[in-house]
Amino acid sequence: MEQLKTTFAGLSLKNPIIISSSGLTNSVEKIKKLEEAGAAAVVLKSVFEEQINMQAGSMQGYGSPEADDYLGAYVRSHALSEHISLIEQAKKECSIPIIASINCYSDSEWTDFAAMMQNAGADALELNILSLQTDKDYKFGSFEQRHIDILCHVKKVVNIPIIIKLGMNFTNPIALINQLYANGAAAVVLFNRFYQPDFNIDTLSFTNANVMSTPQELASRLRWTAIASAEVPQIDYAVSGGVHCGKGVIKSILAGASAVEICSVIYQYGAKEIAKMEKELAEWMNEQGYNTISQFQGKMNASACGDVNPFERTQFMKYYSNHEE
C-alpha cells in the first residue's frame, strides 16, 4: 500500500513496522517469512561482545596461554562469521532493509564489529548501549557521554546510517538525543527494555518478571517521543515496547515516530499480526482523510499542546481529587 510508505534513518520502508532485534530475526528463513507477512525491515539479533567473550573464556584453561589465545580467537571469529553470513544471505534473499545490531563494552570492538557488518552489506547499524549504572561513585553524565563517544568512534569507520537504541535510565533523554543528532546519529529508538528479575516468595529464589512487553508500556514511549520529536525534530524516531496493535502504531506516529519496532506481539500471536496492524492503520488513515504517513506524523507531539503540555505533567492530583471509591 503506497499510503503506508515512510522513511526511517534514511531507509525507505513500505510501511512503519520493523521487527526488532530478537530470536525472530536470527535466520534467513525467519526473515523471509517476516518479509512475506509484511514486515518493512528487520533488526538482526544483536551480536553481544560479552557473550562472545564468555564463550571464549569457557574454552580456556588448556595448559598454555598460546592455546587459550588461539581458542579464544577461534570462538570470536566463529561467532562473528555466523553473523556476517546471516547479513550476507539476508541481503541476497530478501528485499527489505537489513539492520545489524551490536552490543559491546570495549571501544575497539564497537568499531571492529561495525566495520565488518557494513562490509557484509548491512543497510544500517543499531547500537545497543543498554547498561544499568549502579556504582555509588558514578560520575554524573558519564553514561550519556559514553553514548556520544561510541557513536563518534563508529561514525569514523562506517558511512551507513547509525541508529541508537536508548534505555529509559536517563534523567533527560532529550539533551542526549540532541547531542546524538549533533554527532551524526540518523535515528533513535525509544526504548530498550531491561531484563526484569522477580522473587519467588515460596522458594525464596530469583525468577523472571514479564519477558514480553505489554500494551501498558506504550504510554511512557509516547510521552518521550512526543517531547523529543518536538524538541529535536531533525532526527528520526522509532517506538519500541508496548506496540501490540494498529492503534499502537497510529499513536506512535502521531507522537512523532517514523516507525515502530515490534517483537513480543509476534512471539505471542505470530507474524499474521503485521497484516492486522497494516490494515488497521490504512483503515484509520482512510477514515481521517490522510494519504501519507507524513500528513499526521507528529500531529500530537508536544509542539501541538499549546500552553498546557500533558507530556510534562507528573502529578495525578486532579484525577485523584475527583476519584470516588
What's the pLDDT tens digit per position in 41-82? 999 998 866 555 555 454 445 554 554 444 455 456 667 889
pLDDT of 107-142, one tens digit each?
667 898 999 999 999 999 999 987 778 788 888 899
Q: Supply the pLDDT for residue 210.
A: 84
Contact (CB, 8 A) for 194 and 130: yes
Q: Supply the pLDDT for residue 322.
A: 59
pLDDT of 287-311, one tens digit each?
999 999 999 999 999 999 877 778 8
Q: Which residue has the cell 514480553?
A: 212
Q: Supply the pLDDT for residue 193.
A: 85
**Is the predicted pLDDT of residue 314 greater than 90, yes or no?**
no
Local confidence band at 177 (pLDDT 50, 70, 90 cut-offs): very high
CA dist 305 and 104 (Å) reads 39
CA dist 117 and 57 (Å) reads 24
Contact (CB, 8 A) for 102 and 93: no
Q: Supply the pLDDT for residue 240.
A: 97
CATH architecture of 2-321: Alpha-Beta Barrel (3.20)
Number of other residues whose CB lies within 10 A of the CB of residue 120: 20
The secondary structure of the chain, three-state, reads CHHHCEEECCEEECCCEEECCCHHHCCHHHHHHHHHHCCCEEECCCEEHHHHHHHHHHCCCCCCHHHHHHHHHHHHHHHHHHHHHHHHHHHHHCCCCEEEEEECCCHHHHHHHHHHHHHHCCCEEEEECCCCCCCCCCCCCHHHHHHHHHHHHHHCCCCCCEEEEECCCCCCHHHHHHHHHHCCCCEEEECCCCCCEEEECCCCEEEECCCCCCHHHHHHHHHHHHHHHHHCCCCEEEEECCCCCHHHHHHHHHHCCCEEEECHHHHHHCCHHHHHHHHHHHHHHHHHCCCCHHHCCCCCCHHHCCCCCHHHCCCCHHHHHCCCC
Q: Supply the pLDDT for residue 69.
A: 47
Q: What is the mean pLDDT of residues 303-325?
A: 69
Q: Supply the pLDDT for residue 64.
A: 47
CA dist 27 and 85 (Å) reads 10
Instruction: Provide the residue type at 162 as one letter.
Output: I
Local confidence band at 273 (pLDDT 50, 70, 90 cut-offs): very high
